[in-house]
A and B are shown apart, each in its own frame.
Chain A
């Protein structure tokens, strides 16, 4: 029995958990739901030893335990499988499973023993590949099996799974669920975190809901529906968060995409975007949303036709597309969106640096551009020459947006614009997006947060496997319809 008792966690002034108590029992699948920022991941970090509670304690079979570091959690049989799998692609399956604790014969690794033990583990998880297979060639579902085999090898009594099905196909989800039920029958306690409400209803024995760092209730999956789960998660009217959308005033098509495809395996995508419209792109991780966005902005090879304000742009470079008014705000703020070590002013002016004069940088202008955006977007900083990494996530995101708005765009593609951003900045970004649309810009909003897509968009494309599965608007636009299309459940049913 694993008990979390009155746990509170503070990061500086931010309170991630406000006194949460939960119980995880052997032989049970405990579902955990909550919006982003509700405190799920903080709770899981406490359980897996990555963080320690500010107040409160974790009890294992009634005794308080101090989980300091992942190893101390693993030693007690608490193992977490992260959403982003932690495998070394260049090693074999067996080498990954036993990484850092290889069986030895003298100084050398005992490969024979490692292989035999790994084969036994792979059998337990019903893997169809052998211990010598290279991890690089495995599908994501198979890689996940390697992680589960690794967890079992630690003799895990508590297995925490974060969004395990986010990147799996229908049949892969089936076999994962069979494996989870098998683990359950062997008295393992599974903590299952997911945004996919129908799945969590199916696999869980109990569902706990977190909201704003607090435990708000436990639901019985037998008597609940996705609707009930969503309401208890959100716990407030969506209208409070999202500013009212203006009605589209113009029918002018700004962007026309015809048969766009980023890989030959995918069905092409076609859609139109009108001036003043916010078009959502929903779908699971790996559904191809980012790929399509990057292809539109010219960062990725693609086939098909793209017309911006009537002009074909599919052969143009990213820089030329930017000059014609199509820009892309990347989902990966730290890796692609910004130069963290460079100043706010340098970041804000980078795409437009050579527009006025190809051979001379005007520093006065660079500074005035930065000051303008600091004021307009409410970027909290005392010095525009400070490096961007000194800013909070929300303010960084505003700089990442500012550098593209400076290009005076006609079409802005926002890819996960509120990822890792606090609630206050989120609302400011929502207001900004709606304002841009009201000014006549066309916006594409890629987001994994369904409330965001539902609350902000006039129309939503649901992508799956790189192609458009559904186009939703008006009354059809709710979590259930998006999720069923995103997971491809309509076709299976």
Chain B
């Protein structure tokens, strides 16, 4: 392999290389912490919801848009989802139908909010940054208003099973010494990643998203209904926000209206960017986004476990974002 083709291989699979560098670096730096099965479990369990959000964000960004509202939307969907579930359950707190009420509510609220965002962007012709900035502020306010600024607790503990239970990996003679639980949201994330990856790469809709992001005029003049494509990307990221909200609130068995999803939109965007997507649209990879999510998770995990002050963690994340983008520069332009 000559240097030229090696360079282009690195650039094309930049997110994978960046991930490997970070993974090996972390393993060498703190083998006692990072290579523990518990760390890996924690990274997966704690970042599944950001991952779900980042999948939808990838579609929005590849089609040339942006959605800043999804973090606040998670809070709004969570507050209403848990409140409506509690109402539906009444005194019968252990009824499993509660989960279905919460799930349907969260996902429906996410989808409707995404639809509204999308309509404002397409029919309203308002810049996506502005529409979703309004959502960022507005949805958070609604969430806090409905929760009286505080926390909404789920009655009983059936709801928590969704976010806390999962597949138990038994103890092995080596490495894994105690059984580990990989929670359901992790599986939801990976199944959705496969699905969104299929949509992006294997369906006309995905190709249209790329075409709209690469050159919206040319897409329009290729007889593609560009507004419908963009609208759907916002609906999908809204649905993702609803699902992510469901995962987090069930994991906590409660929703803190001022906290849930705070800065989640930024983490999701960061994951997409680390994954190698072009911010102006037209290029993104779902595998890249998945690696981006895992990288952000690893950074937080290892810094926390190494007793690095929480105040320095954002700085390190910022540096990693820039490095990941630098590694992948020159891929397409």
Interface residue ranges, A against B (CB under 8 Å): 298-299, 317-319, 321-322, 327-328, 330, 332, 335-342, 346, 350-351, 353-354, 357-361, 403
Contacts and interface: CB of A to CB of B under 8 A. Distances in A.
12 contacts: A299-B220, A317-B223, A322-B223, A335-B215, A341-B283, A341-B332, A353-B204, A353-B207, A357-B204, A359-B204, A360-B203, A361-B202
A339 B219 contact: yes
Nearest to B198: A360
Contacts of B215: 335, 339-341
Contacts of B219: 339, 350
A368 B213 CA distance: 25
Interface string B185-212: 0000000000000000011101110110
B214 interface: yes
Q: Ordered nearest first, which 8 A-B pairs have the shortest CB separation?
A: A354-B204, A336-B221, A318-B223, A319-B223, A322-B223, A353-B204, A350-B222, A339-B214
Contacts of A358: 204
Nearest to A387: B332
A337 B218 contact: yes
Given A299-B220, A339-B219, A361 B225 contact: no
B331 to A, nearest CB: 11
A335 B216 CA distance: 9
Which range holds the interface residue count of chain B?
Answer: 20 to 34
B211 to A, nearest CB: 6
B217 interface: yes
A342 to B, nearest CB: 6
Contacts of A330: 221
Contacts of B207: 346, 350, 353, 361
Interface in B99-129: none
A254 B332 CA distance: 43
B282 interface: yes
A335 B223 contact: no
Given A335-B215, A341-B214, A341-B332, A359 B222 contact: no
Contacts of B206: 361
A337 B217 CA distance: 9
B282 A341 contact: yes
B181 interface: no
A391 to B, nearest CB: 15
B203 A359 contact: yes
Which of B210, B221, B223 has the most C-beta atoms of chain A within 10 angstroms of its own C-beta?
Answer: B223
Which of B204, B210, B214 has the most C-beta atoms of chain A within 10 angstroms of its own C-beta?
Answer: B204
Interface in B224-253: 224-225
A317 B222 contact: no
Contacts of A299: 220-221
Contacts of A319: 223-225
B198 to A, nearest CB: 9
B145 to A, nearest CB: 40
A330 B207 CA distance: 21
Contacts of A403: 222
Nearest to B206: A361
A330 B219 CA distance: 12
A339 B214 CA distance: 7
Given A317-B225, A361-B204, A335 B282 contact: no
A246 B231 CA distance: 48
A411 to B, nearest CB: 14
Nearest to A340: B215
Contacts of A342: 210-211, 214, 282
B217 A335 contact: yes
A123 to B, nearest CB: 41
B194 to A, nearest CB: 15
A481 to B, nearest CB: 33
A409 to B, nearest CB: 11
B223 A336 contact: no
A80 to B, nearest CB: 29
A369 B221 CA distance: 20
Contact of A336 (B210, B218, B225): B218
A339 to B, nearest CB: 5
B8 to A, nearest CB: 13
Contacts of B208: 353
A338 B223 contact: no
A318 B223 CA distance: 5
A360 B198 CA distance: 9
A319 B220 CA distance: 10
Given A335-B215, A350-B222, A353-B208, 17 more contacts: A299-B220, A299-B221, A318-B223, A332-B217, A335-B217, A341-B214, A342-B210, A342-B214, A342-B282, A346-B211, A350-B207, A351-B223, A353-B204, A353-B207, A354-B204, A360-B202, A360-B203
Nearest to A353: B204
B216 to A, nearest CB: 10
Given A317-B225, A319-B225, A322-B223, A339 B203 contact: no
A339 B221 contact: no
Nearest to A403: B222
Nearest to B219: A339
A357 B215 CA distance: 24
Contact of B221 (A321, A337, A354): A337
Contacts of B217: 332, 335-336
B267 to A, nearest CB: 28
Contacts of A339: 211, 214-215, 218-219, 282
